[in-house]
Amino acid sequence: MKPTNVAFLGLGVMGFPMAGHLQKAGYSVTVYNRSHEKALRWHNTYQGQHASTIESAVKTADVVFMCVGNDNDVLDVAKKALPAMKPGAVLVDHTTASATVARQLQQEATQQKIDFLDAPVSGGEAGAVNGQLTIMVGGEAAVFDAIKPVMDAYARHSQRLGPTGSGQLAKMMNQICIAGIVQGLAEALHFGEQAGLDCNAVIDVISKGAAQSWQMENRATTMINGEYDFGFAVDWMRKDLAIALDEGRRNGSTLALTALVDQYYADVQKSGGGRWDTSSLLTRLS
């Protein structure tokens, strides 16, 4: 059966536009947000339906998406959503959470005859607004194949990476990579400044070679200008890195650089930069 009715739980900087893309794609969308004023604002923006409770939002949905804050939020929302969902529906969690919680939700969903996908996203607020997110998915292949066309409303690319929990594990790899790349870029800019170079000119050159990265292309200029209000916040990154480091301890991974950069982000928080974006690592060095 092709999904037609969807619910979206959590209208933060990511969920608000993601739910909007679903509405614009022709799905019948009902949203819920803990702060009901934001649900009303979403309704006024996109003309979809809004619900005052989780249970009423999900009761007729073929697919329920959620994008909330952390493991505890995921469990709290799912505890209310799953019993109210109709058998055969699908719960898709776009939250960046632990693989342990994903596996727990899969078990609880199965008991309710609900399918489940863990599907964290990458691309930040801009990716959500522009419908260009990358989605890393764990769960059964047949369920992913059925839901992928729905997620295409806001995805540039989505891919199933294995059984339940694989999406969250892949997102941990994503954040590990970003932490190291941003720290390297911050040190390079600091070095260039200390050496008296025109860093904008240098970046223009080296971005054409092997040093090129998304972070360099999109954040180097704003870092040079001391601008740090571009999406994914340090507070959120530290939450994600804590999940990755915890999983690393569990599976025996060596994450020395990740642990070090996490402490650098702690320094940024202490200086009042918890809501700055992740490129603010440069502020420790300037």
User: For 9-40, what is each residue's pLDDT tens digit?
Assistant: 999 999 999 999 999 999 999 999 999 999 99
Last residue within a domain, chosen from 139, 162, 185: 162
- What's the number of domains the chain is made of? 2
Same domain, 12 and 129: yes
Range of the domain at 179: 169-284
Question: Does the CA dihedral 257-266-181-130 come out positive or negative?
Answer: positive
Q: How many Å apart are CA 169 and CA 100, to the nearest integer? A: 10
Q: How many Å apart are CA 194 and CA 114, to the nearest integer? A: 58
Same domain, 248 and 275: yes
If you average pLDDT over residues 259-279, what whole number do you get? 98
The answer to whether residue 1 scores a pLDDT higher than 80 is no
Identify the H or E element spanning 157: strand 155-162
Same domain, 263 and 177: yes
Mean pLDDT over the full length of the chain: 97
Q: Three-class SS string for 174-192?
A: HHHHHHHHHHHHHHHHHHH
Last residue within a domain, chosen from 99, 131, 162: 162
User: For 78-103, what is each residue's pLDDT tens digit?
Assistant: 999 999 999 999 999 999 999 999 99
Residue 110's CATH number: 3.40.50.720
231 burial (CB, 10 Å; 0-12 / 13-18 / 19+) is buried
138-144 long-range contacts (CB < 8 A, ≥24 apart) are: 138/99, 138/102, 138/162, 138/163, 138/164, 138/165, 138/166, 138/167, 138/168, 138/169, 138/170, 139/106, 139/115, 139/163, 139/164, 139/166, 139/167, 140/115, 143/90, 143/115, 143/116, 143/117, 144/117
Q: How many Å apart are CA 272 and CA 182, to the nearest integer? A: 19
Which residue bears the tokens 């509405």? 23
pLDDT the model gives residue 3: 78
Q: Name the token pair of 208.
A: 């054409």
Identify whether 208 is a catalytic site residue: no
Same domain, 180 and 156: no
Same domain, 134 and 19: yes
Q: Name the token pair of 264.
A: 């650098």
List % helix, strand, coil for the chain (3-state, nearest 5): 55, 15, 30
DSSP secondary structure letter of residue 119:
-
Same domain, 118 and 16: yes
Q: Name the token pair of 2.
A: 């092709």
Same domain, 155 and 51: yes
In the chain, the amino acid numbered 107 is: Q
Same domain, 143 and 197: no
User: For 128-184, what is each residue's pLDDT tens digit?
Assistant: 999 999 999 999 999 999 999 999 999 999 999 999 999 999 999 999 999 999 999
Of the residues 24, 79, 113, 171, only one is catalytic, namely: 171
Q: Which of 82, 70, 89 is nearest to 3 (CA)?
A: 89
Same domain, 119 and 173: no
